[in-house]
Structure 1
Amino acid sequence: MVVNAAAARAFAKSPEEMVGTLLTNEYNQKLVVGVVDNFVIENYQDQAMPTYLAAPQYSFVIQHLVLSVAQVSPQEIQSVLAAEYAKFTDEPADVVYVEDNFAALLAKEEELLRAITLFGTIAIGLAMLGLFGLSAFYAGQETQEVGIRKILGASILQILSQLSKRYVGPIMLSLLVGTPLAYWLGQRWIEGYVYQTSISAWILLMAAGVCFVMAGAAISLNTWRAASTNPVDSLRSE
């Protein structure tokens, strides 16, 4: 038989010591000929259980047959298996692909990812619309001030910088609060799995940078429009 690393630990043996061990149950004895790494059986959130793989002593107890096939079409594989299976029984063959089983194990995580992506996109879109509307409101309120500054010799970039200052503080504060919170929530979620990864700092920094650029793009249109307006027109309207 072949056992996994969890089974070797259950017998308090290293993989090397486990090879050659004779295991006995109420029916027969099996010699351990190899130790493999732990692998997922049911889901990724469970600890790997002691597992052994052995050929059955009697052929009539075979319930599953695992095959490794060449890169051919699924239809061709199923037709060949169905023809061979029909030689032994009238029951139809139940063909399942390993990749489909793994996909089923991750089905809930895939649904959660789609939900997070959807609601995250909606939240970002609403935030950008809010920033765009807020910048349009303040730009309209400061039309006279912008006109006076331009008459006094202020450049468009100086006015643009002055109009954008009010947004930098709130945006930076939101990033300072949101980035650690996202890291903490991500770590709590990862801790629910036996096989874990880590959240790299560059991912959080990149996400924060993208949010900052998107926020800047949302407010730049209105602030640029206000800064480039002819001061004569703005003062006349006031």
Structure 2
Amino acid sequence: MERHLVLVANVREVGKGHFARRSRRPSGYVWQGTQEQFNPNQGTGDFRIVPSLQPLSDVHFNHQYQDNYSRKAHLPSLYGMMVVAVFILLIAAINFINLATAQSVQRTREVGMRKVLGGSRQSLIAQFMSETLILTILAVGLALLLTRPMLSAFESFIPRGLSFSVFTPNILLFLLAITLTTALLSGLYPSWVLSAYRPAQALKGQTGLLGNQKGYLRKGLIVFQFTVSLLFIIGTIMVGRQLSYIRNKDLGFSTDAVVLINTPQVDKSDVLAQQLRQLTGVTHVAKQWSAPMSEGYMLTKMTYRGAKAIETEVSAKIGDENYIPLYQLRVVAGRNMMPTDTLRELVINQTYVKALGFKQPAEAIGKLLSFNGRDYPIAGVVADFHENSLHAPIRPTFIAYMPGMSKDIAVKLATKGKQVSDVRTSLAAIEDAWQTVYPDKEFSYTFLDDSIARLYESDQKIARLVNTATAIAILISCMGLFGLATFTAQQRTKEIGVRKVLGASVVSIITLLSADFVKLVFIAFLIASPIAWWITGKWLEEFAYRVDVAWWVFILAGVLAMGIALLTVSFQSVKAALMNPVKSLRSE
């Protein structure tokens, strides 16, 4: 049997990165094939390549190894979509249960007549379940019609090449299962309640239910609906706060108008860099391996031999003497690298200074760090900057220049007093310079802001998911609440008429009709708050730098939910309160 495996090489020593090559060799030859695929001595003398294996089935969902031939999927987002879909389906089913049981009074005479004419309870249950099944089938059909346009809204969640076709066995089985499950969840309880009416009481329009049986399930289901809605509202606020924090967080370096260019050849990149420095719309040009914050990273171990040896795993940033001024990294002690320096001196960050045991940055200047049998003096110390996303803490970091690895170019564009058209002109000039150096290569570039934004793609997806789920959950909950408010107002028409005759004000009538719903939303708030606190806290733990779970978020969510509920029921409450009592009491 042929197994498809991914051979993954971990670049260690100076740098730790990943690259992958796919193999179609039979499993017995994998390790032999690995020796052919990767040369352990490939690259410079500072690198050691260690092959390992990754199952092909793991490639799509595993973000540990980055490659250029596959698109990664974010499993938490996919699971989140599934959970959201289940909750929305439950809320919709609850709406049906609430409205069906609330309106069951209107069908009591029908039930009584059917029972008098010999209808059994089983036949009544079958009838009501059939009605529910027909409604569910119609809903599934409508959902299928809306599926294709809706998929465009979730394009970022869906892998390329994935198509939706109803006429496949898996989809048909899923639709059948979801149809039957929804019909069963929605129709079983209303059918059971309706079929339980006694004929004598049903013919009089009475349900025969005891006082303590009336409305408890409906109230419980409303509480569940608003509990879910409150969870989504709190989640929306917290995710929005964290993403706003990420956008506004000082990263310790400048990201404004920085263009990143990947060049195909190291030797010619020097020529391109020199040409770019001559352009009027360019303020700085640096050769580098990567920007201060990027998807790629390098890790190595360096040793400081002071009173005792301290070995530290550090992040390596490779760039020339223009790297620090281009990104506006703040030098707090010592100096920048010299223009002629090629890995003879290092600049380290403040976190590395602390890891070495120094109290002040100046104490580290001139100290030697040992790597691969050579000693390198510390020339300067820069203030801490985020060299990874805010999911990870700032690591000990050094900056050095390695010509053999610095084939990429960063360009700082002049923006002061410039218009958008000036930036476009500068980009066109950069492209012209590219064409003179690499006439056979297509020019492409990335703004640093966009590169950093890609680090938070999964978080942005979660935000869109929670926002969409919140809107849908609130809409469905309000539709159900509006229907129940309408039914409640109709059922209490005579009571309202009597109260108005006895002098009750419009405000007191509105308060009376709204009070029950306010209590239910408050109970939902008490239930949702601790659950939301735990869920949002767990999500925020994924970030090394995050906002606090503030108490006011819960109060705001509760006020919003209460306001939405009151707005939903207020129309029917006001309408009932303003009704002429003569009309409601005419039949008495």
After TM superposition, is the score higher than 0.5? yes
Q: How does 1:208-223 map to 2 (within 5 A)?
A: 208-223=558-573
Matched to 1:95, the amino acid is Y
1:11 aligns with 2:339: no
Kindly state the Cα deviation for residue 30 of structure 1 after the two structures are TM-superposed: 4.2
Q: Aligned partners of 2:365, 2:546: CA distance in 1, in Å?
A: 29
**Structure 1 residue 21 corresponds to structure 2 residue 370:** no
In terms of fraction of residues, the more helix-rich structure is 1
Q: CA deviation at 1:145?
A: 0.9
Structure 2 CA distance for aligned equivalents of residues 148 and 92 of structure 1 = 82
- Taking a change above 3 Å as real, the CA distance of residues 119 and 172 of structure 1, as seen in their structure-2 partners, is same
Following the alignment from structure 2 to structure 1, what is the Cα–Cα distance between the partners of residues 543 and 447?
Answer: 24
Query: In the alignment, which residue of structure 2 is the partner of 1:33?
Result: 380
Alignment partners' CA distance in 1, 2:406 and 2:438 = 13
Letter of the 1:67 counterpart: V
Q: Distance in 2 between matches of 1:31 and 1:94?
A: 36
What runs of 5+ residues in structure 2 fail to find an aligned partner?
Answer: 1-345
Which residue does the alignment assign to 1:65?
409
> How do 1:92-171 and structure 2 match up within 5 A?
92-171=442-521
Q: Which amino acid in 2 is paired with 1:48?
A: I
Aligned residues: 235
SS at match of 1:134: helix
Which residue does 1:76 correspond to in 2?
Answer: 425
The aligned residue for residue 54 of structure 1 is 400
Per mean C-alpha deviation after superposition, the further-off stretch among 149-158 and 83-92 is: 83-92
Gap change, CA 1:102 and 1:61, over 3 Å in 2? closer
CA distance in 2, matches of 1:50, 1:96: 27
Bigger relative contact order, structure 1 or 2, given CA contacts below 8 A and separation 6+? 1
Is the Cα contact below 8 Å between 1:144 and 1:234 reproduced in 2?
Answer: yes
Q: What SS is found at the alignment partner of 2:452?
A: helix
Deviation at 1:54, TM superposition (A): 1.7
Query: What is the CA-CA distance between 1:50 and the residue it aligns to?
Result: 2.8
| 201-210 vs 187-196, greater mean Cα deviation | 201-210
Query: Does the 8 Å contact 1:45/1:193 carry over to 2?
Result: yes
What displacement does 1:150 show?
1.3
Contact 1:4 1:37 in 2 (8 A): yes
1:3–1:53 CA contact under 8 A, matched in 2: yes
Partners of 2:506 and 2:577 within 8 A in 1: yes
Coordinate RMSD, CA, aligned: 2.3
SS in 2 for 1:144: helix
Alpha-carbon contact 1:23-1:32 (below 8 Å) kept: no
TM-score (norm 1): 0.87
| More moved, 68-77 vs 144-153 | 68-77
**Is the Cα–Cα contact under 8 Å of residues 2 and 35 in structure 1 kept in the other structure?**
yes
User: How far apart are residue 179 of structure 1 and its match?
Assistant: 2.5
User: Sequence identity, in percent?
Assistant: 28
Task: Work out whether residues 384 and 394 of structure 2, in 8 Å CA contact, stay in contact via their aligned partners in 1.
Answer: no
Maintained 8 Å contact 2:350/2:381: no
For 1:93 and 1:61, the matched residues in 2 are separated by 20
CA distance in 2, matches of 1:206, 1:229: 34
Q: 1:126-168 CA deviation, whole Å, 9 max, x = no partner?
A: 1111111111111000111111111122222222222222222
**In 1, are the aligned partners of 2:349 and 2:384 still within 8 Å (CA)?**
yes
Greater Cα offset, 17-26 or 95-104: 17-26
User: Normalized per residue, which structure has more strand?
Assistant: 2
Offset of residue 44 of structure 1: 3.0
SS at match of 1:101: helix
How far apart in 2 are the matches of 1:37 and 1:201? Answer: 31
Judge conservation of contact 2:481–2:565 (CA < 8 Å) in 1. Answer: yes
